[in-house]
Amino acid sequence: MKFIYRAKDKQGNIKAGKVEARSLDTAINILQGYDLIVLEISPERQTNFLDEIFGRKTRISKRDLAVFLRQFATLLQSQVPLTEALRTLFLQAATPAIKDLVFELISDLDAGLPLSKAIEKRSDLFGDFYAQMVKSGEISGRLEEVLIYLADYAEHENDLRNKIKSASTYPVFLFTTFMIVGVVITVALAPQMISIFEEFGRTPPLGTRILIFIGEFFKSYGLIALILLLGLAWFALNYFQSKEGRRIGGIYMLKMPVLGDIYKKIYIARFCETAGTLIFGGIPVVTAFEVAGEATGNYVYQVIGYKTAESVRRGENISNTLKEYNEYLPPLVSQMTAVGESTGRLDSILKTVAGYYQKEVDRAFTTMVDLLQPILIIFIGVLVAFLVTAVLFPIYQLAQSV
């Protein structure tokens, strides 16, 4: 079995990690054999199915993640070595989930992995973007600046998510209430309306017939439909995590109305920010654009990054290559890149472009959030009107005809 330990070496440095042994005493003897003074040691907690369902180790909010990244960057700026910075963060971790995360990072670093690879192993929390940005910081030697940027990015994502939650809470409550009432009416009341209309010798209106059909369908095939929907959702989730699924999803994600435009701006900002950071750090332009494409996490922009790198190898202008992808990169990007190439300030120009599109994303999200509430309320109003037309109005007409 495995044991989690925290120990001190002869120089007084704190070490943390995992050791595999048959018993606690054996684990302590192994650590003492490495001249370590054991401070804490305990069996590794075995996760159960509830942990898997509720994500014990991955339940880290964007806010907690932003605080962790900012503290990490501050320690590195203070010239604290990477591993020592993580050990400090381990000791002062605000939540058990953060402590688990830091412990895993320390263990991977002690095993010889670079920080970017350790973060890549926690893709369930960070995603490709964080791993690639940290990789760019390692390559350029500006890791602390990248961590500050990622902390700002995580805080920004958290703020946007809170705005969307705040704007949608009331409409979602109304929608949920309506759906419960609608299901009760559709399944329990609508089928009984058939006998009422037959008794009066009347044909139900179209809306009522639709409601009756839906009710009968759910009573007869509701369970089968639910199983099929869950199976389809499971298949789609696994498919879009595959290589082919990420490619197709990356293409069609950018073609969605409204959201597709927002996603484009997000990826353009990531692409330009990463490339600018790497070039500023003295990384060759070829490598910079390859890593920048990977950092976006989207297949289309990964291809653009590789194609741009290939054109640089052939001695072609970057701006001319970017012009070929005007469906995904607006003319502003290629025009500003041309200015950067001609002035020798490509890194700062790319960062300027990234800042511009990040502001565009903020404005687009703010507009979308402002429109979300009235749109949902109108949608609920239409559904309520349908129920009234299909149920209450026909019954009223029958009562009037008596």
Rounded CA-CA distance 261/255 in Å is 8
Please state, in angstroms and as integers, the Cα–Cα distance from residue 2 to each residue in 19, 119, 166, following that order.
Answer: 6, 22, 44
What burial class does residue 23 get, using C-beta atoms within 10 Å of its C-beta: 0-12 exposed, 13-18 middle, 19+ buried? exposed
Spans in the chain with pLDDT lower than 70? 1, 17-18, 20-21, 34, 44-59, 127-128, 400-402
Report pLDDT for 127. 67
| Cβ within 8 Å of residue 388, ≥6 positions away | none
| Cβ within 8 Å of residue 351, ≥6 positions away | 272, 273, 276, 277, 280
- 214-223 contacts: CB < 8 A, separation 24 or more? 214/186, 214/190, 215/186, 215/187, 215/188, 215/189, 215/190, 215/191, 216/191, 218/183, 218/186, 218/187, 219/187, 219/191, 222/187
Report pLDDT for 52. 42
Report pLDDT for 24. 75
Report pLDDT for 54. 44
Neighbours of 282 (CB within 10 A): 12
Neighbours of 20 (CB within 10 A): 11
The percent of residues in the chain predicted with pLDDT above 90, rounded, is: 12
Report pLDDT for 58. 47
Report pLDDT for 349. 93
Instruction: Give me the domains of the chain, ranges plus CATH numbers.
Output: 1-46 (3.10.20)
Q: Which amino acid is at 199?
A: E
Q: Rg for the chain (alpha carbons), in Å?
A: 29
Phi, psi of 43 (to 5 degrees): -60, 145
Please state, in angstroms and as integers, the Cα–Cα distance from residue 260 to each residue in 242, 252, 328, following that order.
Answer: 21, 8, 10
